[in-house]
Amino acid sequence: MAKTILILEDDEMISEIYRRQLEKVGYIVNVADSGAHIAERIRKEEPDIALLDLLIPGGGGIEVLKQLIGWEGKTKKIVFSNSQDQESEKEALGLGADAFLIKANYTPAQLVEELKKILS
């Protein structure tokens, strides 16, 4: 069965690049450009991975992680941001993020490989 990924990203060009790369290797990808109701959507849909940008209208990755505290779903929560702020990384990991990845450090192909590792 194909793995599903929910991308929370407000930059349409970036989300489209990653969506295409992920779909090319067989993932089912859904994109959201606002943080509103994303935690609720994650609970309901239980994607295999939620790829969360930090700075999003309606609440970014940190807000989503806060709303998911105590939830026992299977979704791997990955913060994927250009923020290299160590405090944000520490906070995200403390709130249950499974990884904190810096966008600038990953080409789309490298992101696919990293997500494969996280899922295995």
pLDDT tens digits along 71-85: 999 999 999 988 888
Q: Centre a 10 Å sphere on the Cβ of residue 67 and count the other Cβ atoms it contains.
A: 18
pLDDT tens digits along 27-83: 999 999 888 889 999 999 999 999 999 888 778 899 999 999 999 999 999 999 888
Distance of CA 62 to the CA centre of its chain: 11
* Domain ranges within the chain, ordered by starting residue: 1-47+65-86
Report the pLDDT value the prediction gives residue 83, as an integer from 0 to 100: 81
pLDDT tens digits along 89-102: 999 999 999 999 99
Report the pLDDT value the prediction gives residue 120, as an integer from 0 to 100: 87
At 105, give phi and psi (nearest 5°).
-90, 0
Report the pLDDT value the prediction gives residue 57, as an integer from 0 to 100: 78
